[in-house]
Amino acid sequence: MSRLRLAVLASGRGSNLEALIGARDRGRLGIDIALVASDRTEARALHVAREAGIATLALEPKSFPDRAAFDRALFAEVGEVQPHLIVCAGYMRVITADLVGTWLGRMINIHPSLLPAYPGLRTHARVLANGDREHGASVHFVTADLDAGPVIAQARIAVEADDTPESLAGRLLPLEHRLLVASVGLFAAGRVALDGRHVRIDGLRLERPLQLTDKGTLV
C-alpha cells in the first residue's frame, strides 16, 4: 500500500512525535506526517514538528464558545490534509462524540496504563497508591468513552519498591515510544482494523492486546 498519511494531535513535549519522526527517518516506518495540531500554542510538540519540516496548527480553546465548536474547527483543519490515521500522542483534551464517530477506526491514542485499568489522569500515582506490581502503556482506538476504546497493543514494566510517580513515568516513557512506533507500523502495513468493539489483526479477531517484546516487536 502507499505510505500511511498521519495527522498527530499533541498537547505537550512531543516525545512520542519525536519517536515517530525518528522511526520514519530511519526507514522503520512507511509514514508521512501531514500535520501536527495542538490545543496549546506553546506546546513543544509544535517546535519538534517545525524542526522536522512538518506543517503545524495551534488553536486556543478559549477562542471558541464551547468544546464542540473547538473540536469542529480543529478537525475541519485536520480533515483538510486527508489523513489515513489520526494519532493522539499526548493530546490532553476529551474529543466530542460526534467527531470521534466521524473518525472511528481511524484514530488511536497512547495512554500510560494497562487499560482498562486507570483511564484518565495521574496513572503513575494511582498505580503506586494501589500497590500494583505491574504498570504499562496501551495503544487503543479512540471511542466516545474516555480511554475505553478497544486496545490494540500494550507494553509492561515491573513496579519497583522504591518507585515514585516520576521514576515510574521515566522508565515507562521509552517503552511508550517503542509501543507507539510498533502500533503505527501495523497500520502502515495494513494489518489492523476496528470491527465494532473488536480489533482485527490480519483479518483475525484479537483475543487480547498484542504485547511489546524486548526487541520492539508486537506479539
Residues 119, 89 share a domain: no
Catalytic, 47? Answer: no
The total number of structural domains in the chain stands at: 2
pLDDT digits (tens, 9 = 90+) for 146-179: 999 999 999 999 999 999 999 999 999 999 999 9
If asked whether residues 28 and 47 sit together in one domain, one would say yes
Range of the domain at 20: 1-103
Measuring CA to CA, which residue among 213, 141, 201 is closest to residue 175? 213
Measured in degrees and rounded to the nearest 5, phi and psi for residue 184 equal: -65, -30
The CATH number covering residue 55 comes to: 3.40.50.170
Mean pLDDT of all residues in 192-198: 96
How does residue 2 score in pLDDT terms, banded at 50, 70 and 90?
confident
State the SS3 of 132-193. CCEEEEEEEECCCCCCCCCEEEEEEEECCCCCCHHHHHHHHHHHHHHHHHHHHHHHHCCCEE
Instruction: Choose the catalytic residue: 111, 135, 140, 177.
Output: 111
Model confidence over 22-47: pLDDT tens digits?
999 999 999 999 999 999 999 999 99
Same domain, residue pair 81 and 122: no
| Structure confidence at residue 1 (pLDDT) | 54
Q: Report yes or no on 147 lying in a domain.
A: no
CA nearest neighbour of 139 among 165, 176, 164, 101: 176
89 and 175 part of one domain: no
Q: How far apart are CA 57 and CA 146, in angstroms?
A: 24
pLDDT tens digits for 80-92? Answer: 999 999 999 999 9
Q: Answer yes or no: is 149 within a domain.
A: no
Predicted TM-score (pTM) of the model is 0.96
